[in-house]
Structure 1
């Protein structure tokens, strides 16, 4: 498999392919902006680029050069999580039993969204803000389509369940689990697994 492009690489600059790599100070600023974005997303705070600039200690124009919209910054924060999901999906595709592979990957999606709050808004967005993110999402979608097709063809899903149902279901589970206290990650994880079990019982063929 070819190496996946990363939205925070120096080759992708504000959603466009750059003519040359970023200078060291620009790379340093970009990393600091992403760190601040990650902190805001983890705290459930709105990502406002002017506030990000203040917290990162850089000019507002610097933030906008790297990330023209808050969504672009959230996507940069989500890169590691997206790549981990792709690796998990690749392993799942190689498993023999379609239902076990499908179920375990859904467990991984829920756990990942609870561990990384940037994933849900990126997975549920109608389109990506950065080309690197679009590439990652296309790869993840392709793998998940394969997993869904295998379990459907094996007759393991209830009638009427479609691929389009899965993203809102998975994001809804993560949202519901995050209603648990933020200072109790174990309660959130347990709630996520419980809600997923409910969904799996509903979509599995009898």
Structure 2
């Protein structure tokens, strides 16, 4: 059974929503302090159409980050459940994360709005999957000793900082340097890593926003 085509008005609203979210990602990752009107201008959508869908900038940021978290969770679950060689699945997972560029959302937008309880619950679920993936890697003896969840997050976030030329070149460079990181992450590694990785609590604290009394 095929889905019933949307009416003209609903189809236009769906197109507008897609344009708004694409524009919001580009605008707010470039400048988290940008006004919501800049998103409207970038999307080519009237400000009234934007406000009908997202009454405030915080609503738009929550949607943007929720979508990014959902995409990340989908990718890590795919890796955890993969029946392929676990190292190959891990490498494919990180390559897809780099292409999806979900770490840029964390780097640029964490702490700029108040997340919902549902968002925190979704983050906990993603974190459980992260640890399940690491356990599979450790069980196979392919992950360098001492590497933990925070290390993987810092690797992908550092790659998201690469910006050079156009989008195609930027993505190509990020994938290039990911391959260097992957060599460093694989067992046995070149030796004991200095220091310690950030804890899950330290990474999660970036999303906590102090509420006015």
Q: 1:120 to 1:67 in 2, by over 3 A?
A: farther
* Alignment deviations for residues 137-165 of structure 1 (CA, whole Å, 9 cap, x no partner): 33222212110121123322222212111
Structure 2 length normalisation: TM-score?
0.61
Residue of structure 2 in register with 1:194 after alignment? 176
Q: 1:37 to 1:91 in 2, by over 3 A?
A: closer
Residue of structure 1 in register with 2:120 after alignment? 134
Partners of 2:129 and 2:114 in 1: CA distance = 18
* Alpha-carbon offset, residue 111 of structure 1: 1.1
* Root mean square deviation of aligned Cα: 3.6
| Equivalent pairs, count | 170
Partners of 1:105 and 1:196 in 2: CA distance = 11
Structure 2 counterpart of 1:175, from 161, 166, 169: 161
* Alpha-carbon offset, residue 104 of structure 1: 1.4
Residue of structure 2 in register with 1:77 after alignment? 64
Partners of 2:123 and 2:15 in 1: CA distance = 22
* Alpha-carbon offset, residue 205 of structure 1: 0.9
Contact 1:33 1:52 (8 Å CA) reproduced: no
Aligned to 2:128, the other structure's residue is in SS state helix
Residue of structure 2 in register with 1:120 after alignment? 103
**Which runs of 5 or more structure 1 residues have no equivalent in the other structure?**
1-23, 114-118
Structure 2 counterpart of 1:105, from 88, 93, 99: 93
* Alignment deviations for residues 141-193 of structure 1 (CA, whole Å, 9 cap, x no partner): 221211012112332222221211111210111222xx22125x1x2232122
Contact 1:102 1:148 (8 Å CA) reproduced: no
Partners of 1:106 and 1:204 in 2: CA distance = 13
Larger radius of gyration: 2
* Alpha-carbon offset, residue 201 of structure 1: 0.9
Q: 1:152 to 1:203 in 2, by over 3 A?
A: same
Structure 2 counterpart of 1:147, from 102, 109, 133: 133
Partners of 1:52 and 1:87 in 2: CA distance = 27
Aligned to 1:66, the other structure's residue is in SS state coil
